[in-house]
């Protein structure tokens, strides 16, 4: 079954969120109102809803020694597109939450990954597999 993923979250500053997702990440804006905006987030629907205030919560980690935030969302890009995104984020001097790195080297799940944080504190992961057929591989 193939489908399009939908994610929604809140922002206290919808203008700032629009600038980040549209101008920095290159997402196309869809339907919108004064209270919300939809984006094409790499082929998936992302809705951002304006709220009166948003409290950032501290990041939680799935492993106390890990630098990976447990709560995050993201996209798996092609090898080439991931490198283009890495260059783009570096060119705008993006502060990486997790610098681009090779995860699980030599293992079935070997992948390149990097994390950024949007203006509301949401962690976004960009990852890639040299062999896209191994995205769901177990061994």
pLDDT string in tens for the chain (139-residue length): 678 899 998 898 999 999 999 999 999 999 999 999 999 999 999 999 998 876 666 555 555 566 777 788 999 999 999 999 999 999 999 999 999 999 889 988 899 999 999 998 899 999 999 988 888 888 7
In a domain, 90, yes or no: yes
For residues 42 and 92, membership in a common domain is answered with no
Measured distance CA(15)–CA(131) in Å, rounded: 38
In a domain, 63, yes or no: no
pLDDT at position 138 is 80
Among 133, 134, 124, 137, which residue's Cα sits nearest to residue 42?
124
Measured distance CA(130)–CA(107) in Å, rounded: 12
pLDDT at position 64 is 57
pLDDT at position 4 is 86
pLDDT at position 128 is 95
Among 31, 42, 36, which residue's Cα sits nearest to residue 5?
42
For residues 29 and 80, membership in a common domain is answered with no
Domain count, the chain: 2
Inter-residue contact 73 to 124 (CB < 8 Å): yes
Q: What is the pTM of this model?
A: 0.84
In a domain, 61, yes or no: no
For residues 43 and 91, membership in a common domain is answered with no
Read off the CATH number of the domain in which 28 is found: 3.10.180.10
User: Which residues constitute the domain of residue 87?
Assistant: 72-134
pLDDT at position 109 is 85
In a domain, 66, yes or no: no
């Amino acid at each position: 079954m193939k489908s399009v993923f939908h994610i929604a979250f809140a922002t206290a500053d919808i203008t700032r969120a629009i600038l980040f997702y549209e101008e920095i990440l290159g997402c196309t804006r869809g339907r919108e109102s004064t209270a919300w905006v939809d984006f094409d987030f790499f082929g998936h629907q992302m809705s951002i809803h304006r709220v009166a205030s948003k409290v950032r919560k501290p990041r939680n980690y799935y492993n106390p020694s890990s630098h990976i935030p447990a709560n995050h969302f993201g996209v798996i890009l092609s090898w080439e597109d991931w490198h283009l995104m890495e260059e783009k984020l570096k060119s705008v001097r993006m502060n990486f939450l997790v610098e681009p790195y090779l995860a699980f080297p030599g293992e079935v799940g070997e992948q390149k990954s990097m994390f950024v944080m949007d203006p509301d504190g949401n962690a976004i992961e960009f990852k890639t597999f040299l062999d896209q057929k191994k995205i769901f591989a177990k061994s």
